[in-house]
Amino acid sequence: MKVAVVGATGLVGTVMLKVLEERNFPLTELIPVASEKSVGKEITFKGKKFPIVSMDTAISMKPDIALFSAGGNTSLEHAPRFKEAGTTVIDNSSAWRMDPAIKLIVPEVNAHELSIDNKIIANPNCSTIQMVVVLKPLHDKYKIKRVVVSTYQSVTGTGVKAVEQLMNERKGVDGPKAYPYEIDLNVLPHIDVFTENGYTKEEMKMVKETNKIMSDDNIKVTATTVRIPVMGGHSESVNIEFENDFDLAEVRSILEKAPGVIVVDDVANLKYPMPKDAHEKDEVFVGRIRRDESAPKALNLWIVADNLRKGAATNAVQIAEYLIQKELV
């Protein structure tokens, strides 16, 4: 089992390597791939050194699986080349997500859609992944009509430059800027670029990706995505309106049994999910479970997950694990 990690030196690529190691992924050969300036440098995996290779070299090595986290343009250019070499690509960029020919996969929700013919598989947006893991079991039971979500997203979702900006501002140091404004002691209601309808691309990703992953265009979604000066995880306030009424105890029971979900909901003892608790964890945490008293058949939830892990690297590795388990590679 030869596995390439494309973008191995980036924030998500580094976490992919960590997750592969932690989960004891059954690879026999690791092929780290990065930009030309990194070729020849070494990364350490399971105590061994591996040289970083170029894209062309990696393709010539014909890996079984390529985990991509190197940006949309890189993916559009090179994922088809890996596919031609017989490799199954799991891509973390937005490049392929809304392509009708490409599966958009969250293993707990829709891994069953995958077949041996799916040679490019898209990993959804981080904020969408953690939300649909919670939505799916509730939709199966009560049928969701509408979702209103506001996100509180970590600077790690932007990348290394954003983390540096936050830490520089905290130290009073001037440096490169990832955002148009200060992020420390501030909140930016702006993630990705604005589109003609006044929403950002991040907000529209959450709308369209939710419908695609859940295989249901009747679920209405509206989103406001917000960047906050936090590292370690994304948080979401989610309001869900159902077709059918629900019992709160049953909702908790469903979520407690849901794969990949941990319920942290004990307000009497001030227990609720926070990014610090989700940091470096693979699960999605849900709490503040309560009825929306302003609308019938509506529920409020608070959802938190590590955006670099379940929101990116772990989800991709879980897809790869599923492919191996079902003998699709």
Known binding positions for substrate: 153, 227
User: Which residues are registered as beta bridge partners of 236?
Assistant: 151, 303
226 in Cβ contact with 150 (< 8 Å): yes
Q: Six-digit token pair at 243?
A: 């077709």
Look up 126 and say whether it is catalytic: yes
Distance CA 118, CA 103 (A): 7
90 in Cβ contact with 3 (< 8 Å): no
- Known binding-site positions for phosphate: 97
User: Which helix (H) or strand (E) is 148 found in, with range?
Assistant: strand 144-152
Catalytic residue among 78, 139, 234, 279: 234
What sign results for the dihedral spanned by CA atoms 294, 264, 227, 208? negative
- Using alpha carbons only, give the angle 118, 319, 317 rounded to the nearest 5 degrees: 130
User: Which residues are registered as beta bridge partners of 205?
Assistant: none
Q: Which residues, other chains included, contact 187 with Cβ-Cβ below 8 Å and sequence gap of 6+? A: 226, 227, 228, 229
- Known binding-site positions: 9-12, 37-38, 97, 153, 227, 307
15 in Cβ contact with 309 (< 8 Å): yes
Of the candidates 92, 69, 94, 66, the residue with the CA atom closest to the CA atom of residue 80:
66
Q: What is the DSSP letter of 188?
A: B
Q: Six-digit token pair at 220?
A: 């209405």
Distance CA 6, CA 4 (A): 6
Look up 78 and say whether it is catalytic: no
- Known binding-site positions for NADP(+): 9-12, 37-38, 307
Catalytic residue among 126, 139, 190, 279: 126
CA dihedral 79, 83, 84, 85 (to 10 degrees): 100
Active site amino acids = 126, 234
